[in-house]
Amino acid sequence: MAVAALIAAQALSAADAPTENQVQAVFLFNFSRFVEWPPQAFATPNDPFVIGIVGSDPFGARLDEAVHNEQINGHALTVRRFHSISEVDNCQILFIDRSEIGRLGQILAALDHHSTLTVSQADGAAQRGVMIQFATENSRIRLRINVDSARAAGLTISSKLLRPAEIIGTDVKE
């Protein structure tokens, strides 16, 4: 199994390499499986599982494609886009585009007491309290995970994500 997957990875890299955004979109989808939300994260068992994007959308149709026809514990995955944090209501995952990084403090404050997994590709986002930050190193997508932030929101991140990730603490200076 591991071997088969390895081959697939190489096949992909040998052909036209995917873009950062494609891989990040697939990561966002994967997060829905490797993070555990508390039951109160959904108002009803039929609520959709919402991946929100605040700020400009770097993914285009790729994220929609990644979650198309997918569901998790009976919650259908869906993507919603928000212009600003004031529009954001119940999201299980919120992707904060770097265009919103200037308002990061506001956004995180608004999500306080929500079980929302925050994700961003902005430099230094994990140090500033975002739970998962995408970073590109050596043409690979790396994850930087702020475990304390996730724990504070009642989220449990699977060791499958944590093991290959870089664990980041919140920078007290920020």
Interaction site with other proteins (CB under 8 A): 5-23, 25-27, 29-30, 34, 62, 65-66, 121, 123-124, 127, 136, 138-143, 160-161, 163-164, 166-168, 171
Name which of 2, 53, 56, 55 is nearest 28 in CA terms. Answer: 53
Of 6 and 109, nearer to other proteins (C-beta) is 6
50 within 8 A of 87, measured Cβ to Cβ: no
Measured CA to CA, the distance from residue 31 to residue 145 in angstroms comes to: 12
Shortest distance (Å) from residue 107 CB to other proteins:
19
Least CB distance from residue 14 to other proteins, whole Å? 6
Query: What element of type H or E holds 75?
Result: strand 75-82
Q: Which is nearer to other proteins, 116 or 133 (CB)?
A: 133
Shortest gap between Cβ of 154 and other proteins (angstroms)? 22
> Kind of pairing, strands 132-137 and 35-36?
unpaired
**Minimal distance in Å, beta carbon 89 to other proteins?**
27
Residue in the block written with tokens 């902005």 = 122
User: In the complex with other proteins, which residue's Cβ is closer, 18 or 154?
Assistant: 18
